[in-house]
Amino acid sequence: MKVRAALLYTEGTNCNLETENAFKSVGVETETLILNQIIKNGENFDKYHIIAIPGGFSYGDDISAGKVFADFLMHYKREEISRFISQGKLIIGICNGFQVLVKTGLLPDTSGTIKIESTLTLNDSGVFIDKWVNLKVNGNSVSKFIDKEFPDTIELPIAHAEGKFIASHEVLDKMVSNNQIVFQYASRDGVVDDKFNPNGSIMNIAGICDKTGQILGLMPHPERFSSAYYHPAWKRLGLTGEGTGLLIFKNAVNYIKNSII
């Protein structure tokens, strides 16, 4: 049986093709589901193993990034998503998708009650940031999207205006004790320091998971580094083959094959 992923799409989504390509590169069968249509038609996610919310500017980010998408998703699909998670399946939200997951309350969900505990807001710089960053990887994270063989540091591109992660000290303490912090902005050597923080996120947070490790949200774009040739300096650095970002998709597939199928 093939691993199947549903890519949720709505007005303003613009990273769906890159995300689809990354999944297909690791043998996943993908289908793009338009949010309004699945709500109208009463479709569910039962036949899929992974739900992905790609990056972009859903509904123009007119209220706040990801908020309208999140409200639609939880108003109409909350029970289906809860069932999906209870079956051990995976959800990933990238950039705008991360913003959606935070504003649904699915992340970080330290209480296990799916309530909003954090947000992603305007970068400290007040401007849209488009650059490559280095990330420290928490090898002890409970996330199903990384494993013990994952590199200690990786490089991925970011492209966002509202990437500053904010949460209370209480929620942050729970995230730390639960090993829910997955990626942090850092130096090339993995030193987590404010000078490497592009947006002002608390604790340099770039990506987190829920308590189960089944839901991952991150601001950087792993799908934009699924091939080494997507890196702007691939020639100078002598990069070939797969990009580091593809590891996230590979680990998702391995988890599904070993635990679900």
Residue 95 appears among annotated catalytic residues: yes
Q: What contacts 195, CB < 8 A, 6 or more positions away?
A: none
Beta bridge partners of 119: 166
Q: What contacts 89, CB < 8 A, 6 or more positions away?
A: 48, 49, 50, 51, 214, 256, 260
Catalytic residue among 18, 117, 155, 223: 223
- Residue 85 CA, distance from chain mean position: 16
Residue 221 appears among annotated catalytic residues: yes
Catalytic residue among 20, 160, 209, 221: 221
CA distances from 123 to 62, 120, 219 (A): 16, 9, 12
Catalytic residue among 95, 155, 160, 209: 95
Beta strands in the chain (DSSP E): 4-9, 29-34, 50-53, 90-94, 118-121, 129-137, 153-160, 164-167, 181-186, 205-209, 215-218
CA–CA separation, 222 vs 158, rounded Å? 9
Residue 49 appears among annotated catalytic residues: no
Catalytic residue positions?
A: 95, 221, 223
